[in-house]
A and B are shown apart, each in its own frame.
Chain A
Amino acid sequence: MNFRAYVFRRLLLMLIVLFGVVSITFVVSHVIPADPIGAILGPKAPDEVIEKLRHEWGFDRPLHEQFVNYIWNLLHGNLGKSIRTNRPIILDLMERFPDTIELSTASLIIAVCVGIPLGIVSACRKDKIPDHFSRVFSLFGISLPVFWSGLILLMVFYYRLNWLPSPGPYSTYFRPPPVVTGFISIDSLIAGNVGLFLNHLEHMILPAFVLGFSSMASIARMTRSSMLEVLRQDYIKAARSKGLKERAVVFKHALRNAMIPTITIIGLNYGSLLEGAVLTETIFAWPGLGTYVTGAILYLDFQAVMSTTLLIALTYSLCNLIVDILYAFLDPRIKYG
């Protein structure tokens, strides 16, 4: 089996996974003993109005009929309408997902740029001060709760020092750019609004750092352990005994081979970052997918929950596929098929 066939097979398997996710989500959302219409209308709405809307939204139909309708609409590219926002869900997702992608990507860049060097230093200076520093730093990253670290950083850098801006995707004196791609950074540049672009980046620093901190920690730990493993190998000793410079030994011979587990971690981290981070988004008033889906869950907006879950499953599967493909580029011994 060649590379193309491998990718094709993986994509087919992905479809099965997605169907499974959709089915499970549908069943789970519909067995909850609560009425979405009642939830959205609140305690004061008269029963007659609830009944009328339940009928209009099709919630009074048999479960299997609702499921078939949902799948049929899905196959036609129709994700349905949200009972909470009263809009097509595709519009909601197109509005929220770019914000999540921007934040996740920025977080991952910070995590990778800091995590990998930290892991390398830690491995090369095992049990020395840099290693201890790196391990404690990683421990903080993994164990510090976001709601604490986020608020403390805001308190220090925004409230006290005023070095960084207030929560939110941009300052109050800016208006969002005309929507072209949905990404504020790109759209502001398209609109020629460099001030907004820079302001948006500035607003992204703290949430990206907070969100990336735990990923950074896991990347650093994984890099350290896999580097330690590789640095013990005979071919590294051979390289050193040949008189190669340490830099060449570490970067050319050790790092590339140590990257496979790290790449896996990076891929998985990116996948989970793209799910949206409710706490980070709430603390930094970031309009991402996390707060959207949390609101949808609280208001029993099944259609929105199912569509968001589908999107997350798709994103996660794609991240995994990309990681698997990257293995072959990093290690020529890996062949597909």
Chain B
Amino acid sequence: MEKGLTTNMVVVAVIALIVGAAIGYVAHVPPEAPEAPEPIVPKLLTDPDTLIFGTDFSESVSLDPARAYEFWSCQITHCLYDTLVTFEHGDVTEIYPELAESWEVSEDGRVWTFYLKQGFSFPSGTPVDAEAVAFSFNRACKLEQAAGWILTQFGMTDGSTVALEDYTVQLTLDRKYTPFLFLSCLAFTTASVVDPVVVMEHEEDGDMGGSWMTDHSAGNGPYILEKWERGTEIVLRANENYWKGVPSLKTILVKQIAEPTDQRMMLERGDIDIAWDLPADMIDDLKGVKGIEIIEQPVFTQDYIGMNVGVEPLGDERVRDAIRWSIDYDGIVNEIMKGAAIKLQTFIPTGMLGYNPATPYYQNPTKARELIAEAGYPDGFDIELAHAAAPQARDIAAKIKSDLAKSGIRVTLTEMTAAMMYEKYRAQGLQLVLGGWGADYADPDGMAKPFADGTIKQLAWRNMYYDEYATNLTRGAMIEMDTSKRIEIYAELTDYILDHGCFAILYQDVHQVALKTWVEGFYKCPLFALENFEDYYKETIYVLP
């Protein structure tokens, strides 16, 4: 009897386990008619109308162009809205008109007049005209959210954009700026043109539609936001009336897949088309795998060691130079980044106007020790290096510590959350810091100001670095109208900061993306979040039944 009971218990346990598998088996049969926008055609290897990204977009806050500042927020916003001017096909050296037909600048360089293309309207029927442009720019300046500074840095305020005529809009700046700098900022998502009627219909407590715009779209871009299912997916539907032509991909799905191993498995199985966040070792494994292509693009972000000149002995230029001579740059690029970075030692990255390819520094502990001794520290010195609590930052910090030890510099590593680290950094409270920086717009001014101008509360200031010569060069380049002269100024400035500044730039990031070979037209833009999804399409592949 006891045995019988045991058998029964075992049977119950086994049944319970099998029930799950049974549900799986039953449910696994492909649905005959799911209520999906496009029914599955069994003979198709992949749905040619739908592109699926696997990525981690959990940091995204809002899809309101006036607020969007995180990568996926900006990338999605870029698909939902048009701007006056734009970049095309990942080339960020040339500005092209988008909603603007043409433009002109006043003699003093302060007043910009844009003449708009005519005959377009938002999905609501509201015309895309000068009123819409003025409303959008004034709204972004008034709300002054995270990315608002992209416009307000030019002295733009609520009211400085005026509709002169139906299709003529005028922007007044506080001073003259070099045209490429201003226009490249107008290509950023903050300068997107929104539908004023729809936005104001959803205004709450004077927020100019900000809450509603967080997860709705009111634009005239190639895609319309169908749904943002937080933590699951963002769904974009093609704008059937898009003035440049209906995008080939009718649906874009951005799936929240935080775990890179999941992204890789799903890519290989064909459940996603593009794996966005794979680490370098996985990318290496996927190279040569049939049906998968790897795209590698140096992007405008870089990592650096910041040296606070207000902390002894970092105020001594020889000590800062010694630190630069202590670092094994090749080791970091090859052993830690493993292809996800290229060597860079000046602050203007490759691909950007004014790029300076100089890489004079290499690991030379003998020279570093001499410099430290010259500076009055023959026995070396102790210093603290702060870094964010992230695996890659941890590895690089450990490497830097070991490199500097060879030169007699004893480093204590301090790991903290990124939020806490930047809080202290903003208050000039760190000694050495392992930080990162990326350009928001394609003009070198976006890199020169933080790295060289100590009067702006950015990177140089946070390291208590001020150099009049560097500041003047930065400001001069900002208003220089002649491009070749600007390039000369930036060459001088980058060389100067390389040797005299408060940074040891470690590398430029390379974004590695793995995708199915059936995705066509894909390119990776070096600039933050400016990929045009409407340029992509998918092959129609049938498999034998």
Interface on A for B, CB 8 Å cutoff? 32-36, 38-47, 49-50, 52-53, 84-87, 92, 95-96, 99, 110, 113-114, 117-118, 120-121, 124-125, 130, 151, 154-155, 158-159, 162-169, 171-176, 191, 193, 195-196, 198-199, 201-202, 205, 208-209, 245-247, 250, 282-283, 285, 287-288, 291-292, 295, 298-300
Interface-located stretch among B103-111, B417-425, B483-491, B533-541: B417-425
Which of A49, A196, A208 interacts with B146 by CB under 8 Å? A49
What's the minimum C-beta distance from B271 to chain A, rounded to whole angstroms? 5
CA of A36 to CA of B420, assembled, Å: 9
When C-beta atoms are compared, the residue in chain A nearest to B258 turns out to be: A282
Which 7 pairs of residues, A with B, have the shortest CB-CB distance? A287-B231, A195-B31, A39-B419, A202-B27, A113-B16, A198-B27, A121-B9
Which of B17, B61, B458 interacts with A114 by CB under 8 Å? B17
Q: Which residues of B contact A53 (CB under 8 A)?
A: 145
Check if B34 sits within 8 Å of A209, measured CB to CB: no
Q: List 17 A-B contacts (CB under 8 A).
A: A35-B423, A38-B422, A42-B422, A46-B457, A49-B145, A87-B214, A120-B9, A171-B271, A172-B50, A173-B36, A191-B35, A193-B34, A195-B31, A195-B34, A198-B26, A246-B1, A285-B257
Interface string of B22-33 (1 = CB under 8 A from A): 011111100111
Check if B35 sits within 8 Å of A164, measured CB to CB: no
CA of A299 to CA of B61, assembled, Å: 11
Q: Which residues of A contact B417 (CB under 8 A)?
A: 34, 298
Q: Which residues of A contact B268 (CB under 8 A)?
A: 159
Check if A245 sits within 8 Å of B1, measured CB to CB: yes
Which of A121, A172, A208 interacts with B13 by CB under 8 Å? A121
What's the minimum C-beta distance from B432 to chain A, rounded to whole angstroms? 16
A199 touching B422 in the complex, CB below 8 Å, given contacts A86-B62, A159-B268: no
A110 touching B20 in the complex, CB below 8 Å, given contacts A86-B61, A168-B255, A193-B35: yes
A250 touching B144 in the complex, CB below 8 Å, given contacts A38-B419, A196-B35, A283-B259: no
Interface status of B266 (Cβ within 8 A of chain A)? yes
When C-beta atoms are compared, the residue in chain A nearest to B1 turns out to be: A246
Check if B271 sits within 8 Å of A166, measured CB to CB: yes
When C-beta atoms are compared, the residue in chain B nearest to A191 turns out to be: B35
CA of A191 to CA of B253, assembled, Å: 22
CA of A155 to CA of B264, assembled, Å: 11
Check if A202 sits within 8 Å of B265, measured CB to CB: no
CA of A184 to CA of B64, assembled, Å: 28
CA of A315 to CA of B272, assembled, Å: 36
Q: Which residues of B contact A84 (CB under 8 A)?
A: 61
Check if A202 sits within 8 Å of B10, measured CB to CB: no
New A-B contacts (5) at CB < 8 Å, excluding given A121-B9, A166-B266, A175-B35:
A35-B419, A165-B28, A168-B255, A198-B23, A202-B27
Q: Which residues of A contact B232 (CB under 8 A)?
A: 168-169, 176, 285, 287
Q: Which residues of A contact B43 (CB under 8 A)?
A: none
Interface on B for A, CB 8 Å cutoff? 1-2, 4-6, 8-10, 12-13, 16-17, 19-21, 23-28, 31-38, 40, 47, 50, 52, 58-59, 61-62, 67, 69-70, 144-146, 148-149, 210-211, 214-215, 227, 229-232, 235, 253, 255-259, 261-262, 265-266, 268-269, 271-272, 417-420, 422-423, 425-426, 435-438, 440, 450, 457-458
Check if A155 sits within 8 Å of B265, measured CB to CB: yes
Q: Which residues of A contact B59 (CB under 8 A)?
A: 295, 299
Q: Which residues of B contact A247 (CB under 8 A)?
A: 1, 4-5, 8
What's the minimum C-beta distance from A124 to chain B, rounded to whole angstroms? 6
When C-beta atoms are compared, the residue in chain B nearest to A169 turns out to be: B232
When C-beta atoms are compared, the residue in chain A nearest to B63 turns out to be: A86
When C-beta atoms are compared, the residue in chain B nearest to A158 turns out to be: B265
Q: Which residues of B contact A291 (CB under 8 A)?
A: 58, 231, 258
CA of A53 to CA of B28, assembled, Å: 49
A285 touching B262 in the complex, CB below 8 Å, given contacts A38-B422, A87-B211, A246-B5: yes
Check if B420 sits within 8 Å of A34, measured CB to CB: yes
Q: Which residues of A contact B255 (CB under 8 A)?
A: 168, 172, 285
Q: Which residues of A contact B2 (CB under 8 A)?
A: 124-125, 246
When C-beta atoms are compared, the residue in chain A nearest to B147 turns out to be: A45
Q: Which residues of A contact B1 (CB under 8 A)?
A: 245-247
What's the minimum C-beta distance from A74 to chain B, rounded to whole angstroms? 20
Check if A85 sits within 8 Å of B61, measured CB to CB: yes
CA of A288 to CA of B231, assembled, Å: 8
Check if A287 sits within 8 Å of B422, measured CB to CB: no
Q: Which residues of B contact A47 (CB under 8 A)?
A: 426, 457
A49 touching B5 in the complex, CB below 8 Å, given contacts A172-B255, A175-B35: no
A110 touching B16 in the complex, CB below 8 Å, given contacts A250-B5, A291-B231, A298-B417: yes
Check if A114 sits within 8 Å of B28, measured CB to CB: no
CA of A222 to CA of B146, assembled, Å: 53
CA of A46 to CA of B450, assembled, Å: 11
A209 touching B20 in the complex, CB below 8 Å, given contacts A43-B435, A49-B144, A117-B13: yes
A118 touching B13 in the complex, CB below 8 Å, given contacts A159-B269, A175-B36: yes
Q: Which residues of A contact B269 (CB under 8 A)?
A: 158-159, 162, 166
CA of A247 to CA of B3, assembled, Å: 10
CA of A201 to CA of B24, assembled, Å: 7
A163 touching B5 in the complex, CB below 8 Å, given contacts A38-B423, A43-B422: no
CA of A186 to CA of B220, assembled, Å: 36
Q: Which residues of B contact A209 (CB under 8 A)?
A: 20
Q: Which residues of B contact A38 (CB under 8 A)?
A: 419, 422-423, 426
CA of A199 to CA of B437, assembled, Å: 43
CA of A92 to CA of B265, assembled, Å: 29
Check if B5 sits within 8 Å of A46, measured CB to CB: no
CA of A99 to CA of B13, assembled, Å: 26
A39 touching B13 in the complex, CB below 8 Å, given contacts A46-B149, A124-B6, A196-B35: no
CA of A174 to CA of B232, assembled, Å: 12
CA of A92 to CA of B12, assembled, Å: 39
Check if A172 sits within 8 Å of B9, measured CB to CB: no
What's the minimum C-beta distance from B205 to chain A, rounded to whole angstroms? 11
Check if A49 sits within 8 Å of B148, measured CB to CB: yes
A164 touching B419 in the complex, CB below 8 Å, given contacts A49-B144, A85-B230, A199-B31: no
Which of B67, B256, B418 interacts with A287 by CB under 8 Å? B256
